[in-house]
Structure 1
Amino acid sequence: MRHFLEFEKPVADLEGQIQELRRLQESDDSVSTEEEIANLETKAREALKSLYSKLTPWQKTQVARHTDRPHASHYIDALIDDFTPLAGDRKFSEDRAVLTGLGRFRGEPVAVLGQEKGSDTQARLKHNFGMARPEGYRKAVRVMELADRYGLPVISFVDTAGAYPGVGAEERGQAEAIARSTEACLGLGVPNVAVIIGEGGSGGAIALATASRVFMLEHAIYSVISPEGAASILWRDSARAEEAATAMKVTAEDLLNLKVIDAIVPEPLGGAHRDPEVTIGAVGDIVASALAEFSGMSASDIRRERREKFLAIGRSLG
């Protein structure tokens, strides 16, 4: 059953009527509702098109968090052949919020990092809702160092509300682990490509998204803190999250204009959750194109290009 967001109620009503008519036709062959269904489908599509052509930053935040959006595991399953997961940070434990491993992307060997939220209650608990502890970032560093040693490009699928804020995580050096992961991204002598597939929240996202090329899905968000967190700090009122989302410039369009990201990956009408296969295919195409840009480049050139890319963000804003 499709899950509708609050602002999608006009579409939900129309699609509900379509389902009712289809059930009526199935129960009584003598009743023909095909023409009425076709008319309602046209209206539903036009309503969806109208809604998604003028989404506010807060509505985009809701779409980015949609429970039915494809997660990192879906991208890995569809795009990475012969995927072999690698577990553990070799220091403390395994963190299932971060998926890491080796595989082949369109025939070429790569290393893969992904933040997994989980698609149902059991999976969300297993993956801690995509909020990594220090072990997750240290595991990512271990895999990036492995990739650098063997000349493997790194592909990251970013989708997290932020790093896990628990006491234990802080005691084990959460901030240091995030900083080390960001440093590892910057120091890679191989190309790394990051795609914000849902939420790109805080340092927890930056730790995997400091890449040679950073892409965002059309309705993804990327920010230094969640809108709710920003509202709580600025106004001591998390109910002003909608206002914060607008002020923070969290959308793909805003971040492309600010040169924080390199390109936007279009989503199907109604969001990635309405056609995951098309969305994943589009991500695969843009990742392949980005990796091809670095063909034949030396490790020092790759590092220099990445460094200049991030320094240019500050210069362009200055």
Structure 2
Amino acid sequence: MSIRFGRTELPERQARSLEKAVRCEWLTLGFLAVFIVTVFLVMGNSQAMKAAWIEDLLSLAPPIAFLFAVRIVNRPPTRRYPYGYHRSVGVAHLVAGVALFAMGAFLVVDSASGLFAAEHPSIGSVQLFGNTVWLGWLMMAVMALSIPLPIYLGRVKMSLAEELHDKVLYADADMNKADWMTAVGTIVGVAGIGVGLWWTDAAAALLIASSILRDGVKNMGAAITDLMDTRATTFDSSGPHPLVDRIDGHLRSLPWVLEAGSRVRDQGHVLHVESFIVPRDERVPSLESLEAARDACVGLDWKIQDIVLVPVAALPREVGDSTTGRRSERNR
């Protein structure tokens, strides 16, 4: 059975990666559901535990957004949506980013006010199997148990995000990293209360809140720029997507092409390409030549879903030097 992103049929390797990503996200949701309830039961008056609990609630957003977007993006293009539904990935990315930003900002203010007000949190004791146990031990034990799985899931999702060119999955992998770092910070904060350093709890909560806010700003910014049709970037938004240069390089290698440059939009998983071509000797290429060039570009990578080839006298300024046409004239 073939697996598609819109009308793009995924190669076998990417299809397996998508199935694995879906399984990872369901595993993440199951883990978070159990862990959120457990943390709530042992949270007490610790600000760090409160911040960690809220972060875990927010951690539900990326996997839910990913699973929702994957279902929507499978729909083929229609007359109303001629580019398909790939933008649902960007919308899901934006929703997750806004949620992280809003809650991060709230927690920063809440944690900072507690720190400046010099609030001394108290952690009581509970009866466990007939013994009196300091609640802080349970807090630290729960947080310690939450560390291994997010580390594993984060690494797996990061690899899958690159394979599938999925920025929501990358945001989720980033959240998994924040989750285990939050757990470590919370353990330090609770332990600090135990040895009489009241401020470590508020400081840990502030650190966690700052991490949430940073993730929110990063993901919200990346989602907004993608929706505004910025130049296509890699899955982690670290730089221009290398396929842009591969497309231009292939077109320039054709014997009838003097110069070429492309505008590439990231639709979410797939790329839409407008390639401008300056023909040699100002000869309009044949339909067969254009079709062959288009098919060859689409064959470069599964992510190239749509490509339009436009013969021009000179490249547009945004894809190349505006003097290319004049230089080409002198070089003939």
Q: 1 or 2, which has the higher helix percentage?
A: 2
RCO greater where, 1 or 2, for CA within 8 Å and sep 6 or more?
Answer: 2
TM-score (norm 1): 0.27
Larger radius of gyration: 2
